[in-house]
Amino acid sequence: MELIIAIAIGALTAAGIYRLLAGSRLDLLAGILLLSQAANLIVFASGGLLHGAAPLLHDATGPLADPLPQALVLTAIVIGFGILAFLLILLQRDSDNRP
Amino acid sequence: MTASAAIIVCLLAPLAAALASLAAGPRRRVAAALTTGAAALSTLAALVLVAASHRGLIPVVHLGGWPAPHGIALAADGLSALMLAVANLVTLAVVVYSWRGLSGFYHRRRFYPLLGTLLLGVNGAFLTTDLFNLYVWFEVLLLSSFVLMSSNPSGEARAGAWRYVLLNLLSSLFFLCAAGLLYGKTGTLNLAHLAALFRQSGDSFLLLSSSALLFAAFAIKAALVPFAFWLPASYPHAPIPVAALFAGLLTKVGVYAFFRCFGLVFAEPAGFAHREVLLPLALATMTIGVLGAVAQSDMRRILSFHIISQVGYMLLALALFTPLAVAAGIFYIVHHIIVKTNLFLVAGLVERHQGSSDLARARGLLRSFPAAAALFAVAALSLAGIPPLSGFWAKFSLLKASLDAGAYLSATVILGVGLLTLFSMLKIWTHVFWRSPSDSPAASRPVSLLAPCAALAALTIALGLGAAPLFQLAQNASRSLLDPRAYIESVLSSAPPAPGQTLTLQP
Amino acid sequence: MAPLFHLLLPALLALAAVSSRRGWRWSPSAASGVIAALAAAAAGAALWSSAQGASVVFSHPWVAPLGVDFALRLDPFRSLFLGLVWGTTVPVILYSGLAFRDDPRLAGLLATLLLFAACMIGLILADDLVLFFLFWEGTSVLSFLLIGWNHAGAEARRKASQALLVTGLGGLALLAGLVLLRFATGAGSLGAAFGTDLSAHPLSTAIIVLIAAGAFAKSAQVPFHFWLPNAMAGPTPVSAFLHSATMVKAGVFLLALAAPALGAHPLWTPLLVTCGMLTVAAAVRRAWNETDLKAVLAATTLAALGHLTILAGIGTPAALKAFVVFLLAHALYKAPMFLSSGALEKAYGSRDLRRLRGAVFCLPIVGTAMVVSMASLLGLFPLPGFVGKEYFLKAAWAQSPALAIAAALSLAAVIALALRGLAPLLARGDLNLPAKSPGTALQLLPWISAAAALALTASFPWLSQSVLTPAAAAVGGTTGASVELWPGWGPSLVLSLAALLIGGVVAFHAARPAARPPASVGDTTYQTLLDALGRGSRQLASALQDRPLATHLGLVLGAAGLLIAPPLLAGPLPLPDLRVDAADTVPAVLARLTALSAAGAATARSRVALLVSLGLTGLLIALLYAYFSAPDLALTQLLTETILLVLMVAVLRWLPKPHGTPRRGSPLAAAGALSAGAVVTMLVIKAKALEFTPPVSQFFAERSLPDAHGANIVNVILVDFRALDTFGEITVLAVAAIGAAALLRKRRRPAVFDPTRSTLLSTALRLLLPPLFLFAAFLLLRGHNHPGGGFIAALVAATAAAFIHLSGRPAPSSRLDSALLVTGLSLAALSGLFAVAAGRPFLTGLWIKPDLPGDGPPLHLGTPLLFDLGVFLTVLGFALAFLRRLLPTTPSPVPSWN
């Protein structure tokens, strides 16, 4: 199972890089978005991929998923969100200023 | 101010300045005063930390009361304290300069709030002991710099800004992946813990691909060739105080990250190949950077390429990896931050006076603006490594370290690049300061523009004439990097008071 | 203390010069007189201390970590040099004061000259290797400023730069040599380093080459000789002071000091003697057809330096004794010659020798000085020049007769040059009368200096015993015999007479064509190198810099790949688990769909397709997160993806369509992308296989409920365990919002539709708002124990705000955004400061547990909840800022900050 996830991450990376190198501003944005998804998944995967073991301590039976990578990815998602939103601002400004 | 309080002040003062400036809105004077005060306060705090490290202490704050490596700890060892001191000092100089040296256009682009967040990110990066936290502070300072860099609306500036943004975003992505992979392999994110694990296991092979990712991330940030070409595309277009700050600080945060991760954690002999990878890249960076500078004909572009070249020197010091070399590298970082910021501020003076920093257009400033000439001379000679200025001791100690280590190629490159640096500074001098002056109307020369430059120049001279104290500090910092037992102990084992104290309220 | 005094005095005198002003009593000219007098006294003091014979050392630690001391040494040899420097200072300062009396820059010139003197004296006195280098470079820099004194002219600038670069190059070589010397001898002082015999040391060849390179550059020996004639572009006092008497002597000074330690090395003598001879030849060749008086003098100086180099090269005590004598003699005759040339230039307005015909007779005072000095240059008895040549030839003969003959020929060449070049001055017929009189003082100056030289000659026995012999002993070791005026009959006398004869014959019979002086090989090589450097660097910079963004991105990715791939591929690649269990079909399907959708995003041609595939990818990833036990994460991913897509749609509606067909990706990009994907896949697989230590996060599971009072561990990590990360994260959002406000200042485009026209829509939107806000509050409060939390709550609230925006209600002013940001961040920071007030580390959680009636679960209220509230407010402010600026809307008033 890990292989298929790894392949998915690889596909995201390849897609992101291909888009990034395509050139237009929108492509750059899309590429960064895809690459951040891939990076987030990498961090997430480092904690192990457990099903049905949400890190909530109320009805905890059995091993819990590692909460730290989840917190890290959450932070990374939010930061990525902020940055991508800013890139949209840049995109908007450039289109405003274009003659 | 106790050392622990100083650590918190270094974070909260810039934040407070940013928030207060944001709240102050269009009231520029208020924002300027607040930011200046905050920068002065954090400089003071940083100096307190330097004094503490001089006494051999490593102040640590375990945030949240949680012990490291579970919580995040902030530590100010020799290296961090020095970096904090010099970074906050030059920020203070730039803030004073920007009272009059920055047009209203850029002030309306939220300059002071962004400066506050930038300084927050820088200080956080220097203080943190957690790899992911380092990533977060990198993002803070990166995004602040993105906005500052993008504020110039001209076409070329916008293109340069996109390049800056994208390449640095790649750096962040590499960093994030590396942090994740490292956590997966070692189960920890704390730098001291990683250093301890690394030294115990000796089985470094497993970590090499993550450290390679980290290397790439920092190489982009620090402007190591071939990752460096975002810099000359973007720095020449930023307004002068912004360019000065970036030139002094941003790449050095990357260099700091190199020293911290590849000096502390992934250290020889088990770590990434310093000699095989970093050394040739550093030599290439020095050479290509200075050749790029020689090719330019505008002061700002020349200085931008020189940043790349000088970063090569610092990383060469790390690559040589002897105690003297690392100390020389740390000394070099401090010296360079001061000199580079000063050079950009002086370029700003030239631009104000002549309307341009192009070598063909600016002329005769020795006669018409002798103060600027003197300031430039001090900074330029220091950059070129002429004694008795700070740059000479930096180059000399690096040269000595490489000759002591038998690295003759490195020594030759150090000297050759030094000569070319002198050459390009000479070019600026003979074009901009010599030649007969043109009849341009005299621009105003407010003290608030000259004073920061003069202060930085005085510091360069002082560090040249009295290099011993700073070199001593650099040697201590180098020692604590290469033999980090004290650092590891301070961060990991000093037990904080029990967290999460609960008070019970009676109704 | 004496050495320190000699070092500080010129600096003080420089200050005195700078403080003078034209028109005051203390005018620069007056200052020059005083300064000259003090300098004369200092010269006397130097010679007197030489007569004492003792060696004085002054040392003080300077940069202890690097082993550098501030160490000065004064021995008879150095005293001689010191006396020469001071002695030359006197006439130079006086000359400047007289000749540049009305020049507004005189004070600056005097100060710079005196600073230079300080550096030169420092160089002479320095005993520490690094200190020596310091003054060495100082002389180069000041020489640059002085050569380029009249920098309005491009040629002066070029020549000044050339001088600095050439001596700078030599300086760098010297630095390397000195560092190696320190390493080889373990000694930091010149005295100690040159006191040991190094000729057998393995590093000695490198040291010799490097030190010789430095010395040759400074003393203008081949191959670095070409800068000295060009340096004559400076004003006369500069040429007289720096480039004939002081700075250029620094190189041979160093060589003389080094000779005892390195002289026995097989490379030393051949290198120095050859270069010295070549220098003499080059100088004579260059100046053979010269008509500029200063140029002829420069050539003779260059030749004299060549001779001094030869003597240092021979290196025996006898040779060093000859060095001392030759040095003194040169100084004594050169100074009056330069001063005379200055006076002549003032009188005739030109330095062209053809215009100066018969000047010796027209201006007899000056002429006498010139003639006497020339006689000494030619080596006529009983002038010091004669003694110098005698001892030179003696030392050469002692080394080898062939060398002595070569030396004699070189002397003959110089004699020929001098006679040929300066003959017009002595021409009898067809005299040229001077345009104006240069003033008595200016005429007396050379005469006085020539007279001083004669006086010293007259007292030769005293001079020899008190100055010359001790100096020779100090540098080379004693030879027993003292310096005599008449060296006795012998081969040296024969050779010197022969040289005189040959030189005279050649001078008087050589044809005098009107040919121009030949171009200097060194100069043209230098210029060619410089041009090549310029061209090459421009090509390099352009090749690296002027590239499209994709190239730079590709370069970075490729280089990163090169770094990562080798360690990745080198180790064993664990075989991945290829089986797919029944339980794993869901994630397998999700993963496959994700990969497909990513491929779709990569290849999408139209914007719509791109946005759809991006949205789909995000959704699938959220589902993956949900499947793998990360509810908070899935919610966050979903919400951010949605809002991001909404914003993208809003922006892209108005983005102009790209011209022409969308560009097809290049195959190279595709190949690069695929290989990168493969590398990443391998990275992930390898990472999964290598866990070996228990992660630090076990702590969290154990302590989250008891100490941090939260059951949602992820949320507890975010607001308590690792709150600083979250703090940075909301700062990033705040910065993004500030960026939005800073960069997008124009008003927005008109709305797509006007919602106020549809009452059904506005009512529906209005009805949705309260539940949404309540839901947001609910999410915020339960986050600590259940999925939820500040961020998610804020995004829900932002969605509500978006509805407000779209419903056409006038938007609250943008001050609300910054107010939210400021309040949110302040609250987050404040929540951490409570702990500081209680004496705990920043961001420590402080809790209160109010006693509730009944026995429901215990309620804990604490600072992390305040922190979460701060997160909520900041994120809300961020979202509002973006929604306001990117979503289409009806026009509304512009806030005042813009």
Rounded-to-integer distance, Cα C436 and Cα C533, Å: 48
Q: Is A20 on the interface with C (CB under 8 A)?
A: yes
Q: What is the pLDDT of residue C780?
A: 85
User: What's the pLDDT score for residue B501?
Assistant: 46
What does the pLDDT average to over C749-775?
69
Torsion of CA A89, A91, A93, A99, to 10 degrees: -170
Yes or no: say if C19 and C30 are a contact pair by the CB < 8 Å rule: no
Residue B249 DSSP code? I
Using the Cβ of A92 and the Cβ atoms of chain B, whether some distance falls under 8 Å is answered with: no
Please determine, for residue B244, whether its predicted confidence score (pLDDT) is greater than 90. Answer: yes
B381 and C707 in contact by Cβ < 8 A?
no
Alpha carbons C374 and C380: distance in angstroms, whole number:
9
Q: How is residue C71 annotated by DSSP?
A: E
Report yes or no: A40 at the B interface, CB cutoff 8 Å: yes
In 3D, which of B380, B383, B470 has the Cα closest to residue B418?
Answer: B383
* C885 and chain A in contact, CB less than 8 A: yes
- Can you tell me whether residue C140 is helix, strand or coil? helix
**Is residue C584 very low, low, confident or very high in pLDDT (cuts 50, 70, 90)?**
low
- pLDDT for B502 equals 46
Listed in sequence order, the DSSP H helices in chain A are 2-20, 25-45, 67-97
pLDDT digits (tens, 9 = 90+) for C763-774: 777 777 788 888
Answer whether residue C440 shows pLDDT above 90: no
Rg (CA), chain C: 43
With beta carbons less than 8 A apart as the criterion, state whether C309 and C275 touch. Answer: yes
Whether pLDDT at B475 is above 90: yes
What's the pLDDT band for B506 if we cut at 50, 70, 90? very low
What are residue C126's DSSP bridge partners? C72
- Mean pLDDT computed over every residue of chain C: 84
CA of residue C811 relative to chain centroid, distance: 55
Mutate which: B110, B176, B234, vs A, most A CBs within 10 A: B176
* Mean pLDDT, residues B105-119: 91
| C687: contact with B, CB 8 A cutoff | yes
Number of other CB atoms surrounding residue B493 within 10 Å: 11
CA pair distance B475, B472, nearest whole angstrom: 5
Considering only residues B502 and C316, tell me which one the structure prediction assigns the higher pLDDT: C316
pLDDT at C5: 84
pLDDT, one tens digit per residue, over C483-507 is: 777 777 788 888 888 888 888 888 8
Task: Check whether B505 has a pLDDT greater than 50.
Answer: no
Residues of B in contact with A47 (CB under 8 A): 183-184
Q: Is residue B116 predicted with pLDDT exceeding 90?
A: yes
Q: Nearest-CA neighbor of A8 among C844, C58, C623?
A: C623
Q: What is the pLDDT of residue C143?
A: 93
User: What tokens appear for C287 in the block?
Assistant: 């100046």
pLDDT digits (tens, 9 = 90+) for B431-464: 999 888 877 766 777 888 899 999 999 999 999 9
Report how far apart, in Å, the C-alpha atoms of A6 and of each of B185, C566, C684 are: 16, 19, 6
Contact B115/B20 with Cβ under 8 angstroms? no
Q: Is B501 exposed, middle or buried (0-12, 13-18, 19+ CB in 10 A)?
A: middle
Instruction: Identify the residue with better confidence: B360 or A39.
Output: A39
What residue of C is the nearest CA neighbor of B139? C732
Amino acid C726: pLDDT? 95
**pLDDT mean over A33-51:** 88
CB interface of C with B, residues 514-553, below 8 Å = 533-534, 536-538, 540-542, 544-545, 547, 549, 552-553
Q: How far apart are CA A43 and CA B185, in angstroms?
A: 11
Pairwise pLDDT comparison (C441 vs C864), residue with the higher score = C864
Look at residue C294 and tell me whether its pLDDT is greater than 50.
yes
Q: Could you read off the pLDDT of B259-281 as tens digits, one per residue?
A: 999 888 877 654 556 777 889 99
- Enter the DSSP assignment of C582: G
Distance (Å, rounded) from C-alpha B127 to C-alpha B150?
Answer: 28
Q: Given this model, what pLDDT does residue A75 score?
A: 95
**Which residues, including other chains, have CB under 8 Å from residue C783's CB and lie 6 or more apart?**
C712, C715, C789, C790, C792, C793, C868
Report how far residue C608's alpha carbon sits from residue C59's, in angstroms, rounded to the nearest whole number: 79
Q: Using CA atoms, how far apart are residues C666 and C677, in angstroms rounded to an integer?
A: 17
pLDDT at residue number C638: 93
pLDDT mean over B177-186? 88
Give pLDDT, residue C430.
Answer: 63
CA dihedral B271, B273, B274, B276 (to 10 degrees): 170
* Amino acid symbol at B324: L
Q: Provide the pLDDT for residue B457.
A: 94
Distances (CA, A) of C23 to A61, B505, C110, C435: 98, 86, 16, 28
Q: What was the pLDDT predicted at B470?
A: 93
Residue with tokens 């154990």, as numbered in its chain: C702
Which residues in chain B have Cβ-Cβ distances shorter than 8 Å to C862? 500
Hey, what amino acid is at B203? D
Residue (of C270, C176, C271, C277) closest to C225 by Cα position: C277
- Please enumerate in sequence order all residues whose Cβ is within 8 A of that of C817, keeping only pairs 6 or more positions apart, or say none: C737, C741, C877, C878, C880, C881, C884
Question: Rounded to the nearest 5°, which phi and psi values hold at C433?
Answer: -85, 145
What confidence tier does C573 reach under pLDDT thresholds 50, 70, 90?
A: low
Q: Write down the pLDDT at residue C895.
A: 44
d(CA C242, CA C248): 7
Amino acid at C352: D
Mean pLDDT of the C172-186 span: 91
**Diameter over CA atoms, chain C:** 132
Whether the CB-CB separation of B423 and C534 falls below 8 Å is answered with: no
pLDDT at B201: 67
A82 contact B CB<8A = yes
Nearest CB partner across the interface for C655, out of A66, A84, A91: A91
The single residue listed with the structure tokens 């102009």 is C656
Alpha helix segments (H runs only) across C546-630: 549-570, 585-603, 607-627
Residue C519, Cβ density class (10 Å: 0-12 exposed, 13-18 middle, ≥19 buried): exposed
CA pair distance B489, B68, nearest whole angstrom: 11
Q: Which residues of C touch B136 (CB under 8 A)?
A: 724-725, 728-729, 732
Top residue of B27, B365, B430 to mutate, by most chain C CBs within 10 Å, is B430
C-alpha B43/C-alpha B94 separation (Å) is 13
Share of chain C above pLDDT 90, in %: 23
d(CA C253, CA C131): 15
- Range C568-579 average pLDDT: 65
State the pLDDT at residue C896: 40
- HSE toward the beta carbon, residue B214, CA cutoff 13 A: 28
List CB contacts (< 8 A) between C179 and chain B. 396, 399-400, 403
Residue bearing the bigger pLDDT, C38 or C169: C169
- Whether the CB of B226 is below 8 Å from some CB of chain C: the reply is yes
Does A76 sit within 8 Å of B176, measured CB to CB? yes
What is the predicted pLDDT for the residue at C898?
A: 36
Identify the residue whose tokens are 């007292």.
C459
**For residue B64, pLDDT beyond 90:** no
CA atoms of B298 and B156, how far apart (whole Å): 15
Coil, strand, or helix at residue C63? strand
Task: Please judge whether B65 and C841 are an interchain contact, meaning their C-beta atoms are less than 8 angstroms apart.
Answer: yes
pLDDT confidence of residue C534: 92
- What is the per-residue pLDDT across C86-129, written as a single tens digit (0 to 9) for each? 888 888 888 888 888 888 888 889 999 999 999 999 999 999 99
Tell me the shortest Cα–Cα distance from A43 to chain C, in angstroms.
Answer: 9
Lowest mean pLDDT among B57-66, B176-185, B413-422, C51-60: C51-60
pLDDT of the residue at C732 = 96
User: Which residues lie across from B303 on neighbouring strands?
Assistant: none
- Of B43-57, C260-274, C633-647, C690-704, the range with the lowest mean pLDDT is C690-704
* Cα–Cα nearest to C199, from C133, C119, C112, C262: C262
* pLDDT over 70 at C809, yes or no: no
Residue C700 pLDDT exceeds 80: yes
- Rounded distance, CA C795 to CA C872, Å? 8
If pLDDT is split at 50, 70 and 90, which confidence band does C856 have? low
Q: Testing the interface with B: which of C135, C178, C551, C844 to mutate, by most B Cβ within 10 A?
A: C844
Residue A77, chain B, CB below 8 Å: the answer is no
Range in A5-9, B78-82, B498-502, C163-167 with the lowest mean pLDDT: B498-502
Residue C746 pLDDT: 60
Closest CA to C315 of C264, C271, C280: C264
Q: Among B150, B326, B502, B505, which would you mutate to test the C interface (most chain C Cβ atoms within 10 Å of its Cβ)? A: B502
CA separation for the pair C622, C600 (Å, rounded): 18
Inter-chain residue contact C835 with B65, CB threshold 8 Å: yes
Confidence of residue C580 (pLDDT cuts 50, 70, 90): low
At position C310, the amino acid (one-letter code) is I
Mean pLDDT lowest among B84-98, C246-260, C760-774: C760-774
* DSSP sequence for C34-61: HHHHHHHHHHHHHHHHHHH---EEEEEE
Q: Where is average pLDDT lowest: B175-189, B284-298, C614-628, C645-659?
A: C645-659
Residue with tokens 């967040």: B117
As given in the structure block, the two tokens for residue C364 are 């007899």
- Which amino acid type is present at position C319? A
| Residue C234 confidence (pLDDT) above 80 | yes
How many interface pairs between A and C have CB atoms less than 8 angstroms apart? 290
Residues in C closer than 8 angstroms to A46, CB to CB, are: 687
Contacts of C578 in chain A (CB under 8 A): 3
